[in-house]
Amino acid sequence: MELQLRGITKRFPGVLANDDVSLTARSGTVLALIGENGAGKSTLMNVLSGLYRSDAGEILIDGVHQTFRDPGDAIKAGIGMVHQHFMLVPVFSVYENVILGVEPTKAGGVLNRREARREVKEISERYGLAVDPDAKIENLPVGIQQRVEIIKVLLRGAKILVFDEPTAVLTPQEVEEFFGIVAELKARGATIIFITHKLKEALAVADDITVLRGGRVVGHADPTTATPEDLAAMMVGREIDLTVDKEPGTPGRTILELTDVTMVDDYGRPLLNKVSLSVAAGEIVGVAGIQGNGQTELVEAITGLLPISSGRVEFDGADISNRSVRDRHVLGIAHVPEDRNDMGMVGSFTIKENLVLDSYYAAPYSKGGRLQKASIQESALALVEAYDVRPPLIENTGGALSGGNAQKMIVAREFSRDVPLVICAQPTRGIDVGSIEYIHEQIVRKRNEGKAILIVSTELDEIFALSDRIIVMYDGKIVAERLVGETTPTEIGLFMAGKGS
């Protein structure tokens, strides 16, 4: 089925989220919708899925005008959304999740399990999804959970599938498999809209590309001829350089040293297995690895958020293995956490409060236990300006910022401290190209000032762009260590998959 949007306009108080947006997804093709965070992609999809009603414009499916009063109408019209955050019941099985809300029943309202299982199995086989209908969701990897979401929308008769940032949560292997599924869906006639800000992926799978900026369509691109640089320039409205410009680092004395650090979970299983590494002043060490191979625990062991079972963590020559988070902060560890919403900020706090979230207790922000409003205000104004947090309204809540700007706020807070060690976990996850470029520049600037930097990222491109030295984690262990000039993404990729040796 062909989907057309014509002149979609959606206003929120003070914001024009979509301004006269028109686009076409041709039948049986993949349309990539790209744009920075806040460009209006999500609003547009919410209009399309019936969650919002547009102020102007129309939606046409195969040339027929559609009116969606609620998400049910959109589903009936054949539009299926696969959200970035899955909406699955973890303790239910696959088929139970799939039929939730459309349960086949026998007389008297009794659930027809056999029929349900059969339907799920059939769809799974028809599209080559290979999902066991009886597996429990909580036991499945994220990639398979995503397939369950796909089966869900297919079962509801979707012919137009909308994927919102589908690869954000996947491992590189799962991304490959996902692209295979997209190809299969396309071959069977489905129309696919693929929302992303990963330019390479858009180029890899799309038949057409539409670029949004500031709520408007700023251009269309042909993936056979366009380059990532072209797309990035369209997205941010200026030329952008995706490679990071930097000289090789000049490592000085060792700032952080881990020796045989081991951490176990509540059941005694190792999360970190004899991890030893060091980071010197003036170098960037990048920790590569697929999500969930101990990187989170590594960072929390260094910052003191999780206790280690054995081994030593040394900072500037002193053993800090048993020191508190606060102590380590005071000693001089800055930390940009992996999860900016859940850990990096308090969404309901104002920007100025978030900017002193971990330094509120010290001068000049407090005196005798009293917060010094003037100093906090002054520093906040300087930081939003220096780190380009937009909009620079320090009385707004942190939660009101877009992902990229929230991250810039956190980077501002941590980088403005003149400390020897900076740890950045997933510094640019899920943020727009403009912000990524900016944050990368800041990281390199920090290194050039002679700070020791530890970067954890699941994006191999980012690891290669920033690091002087690369460490690969797999299954809680460090499986490889290479200087950046002496390795290739392919080699590191193999180590990440646990295959190198």
Binding site for other proteins (CB under 8 A): 12-13, 42, 46, 51, 83, 85-90, 137, 164, 303, 305, 324-326, 328-329, 335, 337, 339, 342-349, 353, 357-358, 360-361, 366, 369-371, 373, 397
**Beta 270-280 vs 254-264: how paired, if at all?**
antiparallel
SS (H, E, C) 284-352: EEEEECCCCCCHHHHHHHHHCCCCCCEEEEEECCEECCCCCHHHHHHHCEEEECCCHHHHHCCCCCEHH
Q: In 3D, which of 325, 242, 338, 327 has the Cα closest to residue 296?
A: 338
Q: Judged by CB, which is closer to other proteins: 238, or 370? A: 370
**Min CB(174)–other proteins separation in Å:** 17
Q: Judged by CB, which is closer to other proteins: 41, or 213? A: 41
Alpha-carbon distance of 82 to 167, in angstroms, equals 11
**Min CB(501)–other proteins separation in Å:** 36
Alpha-carbon distance of 38 to 82, in angstroms, equals 19
**Min CB(86)–other proteins separation in Å:** 6
Angle at 251 between CA 249 and CA 255, to 5 degrees: 130
Q: What is the largest CA-CA distance in the chain?
A: 76
**Min CB(46)–other proteins separation in Å:** 7
Q: Judged by CB, which is closer to other proteins: 425, or 453? A: 425
CA distances from 179 to 431, 459, 496 (A): 22, 17, 20
* b/e per residue 178-210 (b: at least 16 CB within 10 A): bbebbeebbeeebbbbbbbbbbebbbebbbbbb
Q: Judged by CB, which is closer to other proteins: 45, or 470? A: 45
For residue 405, the SS3 value is helix
For residue 41, the SS3 value is helix
- DSSP β-bridge partners for residue 15: 12
What DSSP string describes 131-198?
A: --TTSBGGGS-HHHHHHHHHHHHHHTT-SEEEEESTTTT--HHHHHHHHHHHHHHHHTT-EEEEEES-
**Min CB(486)–other proteins separation in Å:** 35
Q: Judged by CB, which is closer to other proteins: 27, or 397? A: 397
Q: Judged by CB, which is closer to other proteins: 4, or 303? A: 303
- Which amino acid is residue 326, in one-letter code? R
Q: Judged by CB, which is closer to other proteins: 241, or 339? A: 339
* b/e per residue 349-388 (b: at least 16 CB within 10 A): ebbbbbbbbbbeeeeebbeeeeebeeebeebbeebbeebe
**Min CB(368)–other proteins separation in Å:** 9
Q: Judged by CB, which is closer to other proteins: 169, or 212? A: 169
Q: In 3D, which of 137, 106, 108, 104 has the Cα closest to residue 122?
A: 104
**Min CB(468)–other proteins separation in Å:** 27
**Min CB(348)–other proteins separation in Å:** 4
**Min CB(399)–other proteins separation in Å:** 8
Packing angle, helices 228-236 and 433-448, rounded to 10: 100
**Min CB(282)–other proteins separation in Å:** 26
Q: Judged by CB, which is closer to other proteins: 414, or 462? A: 414
Q: Judged by CB, which is closer to other proteins: 52, or 464? A: 52
Q: Judged by CB, which is closer to other proteins: 264, or 343? A: 343
**Min CB(382)–other proteins separation in Å:** 20
What DSSP string describes 113-132?
A: HHHHHHHHHHHHHHTT----
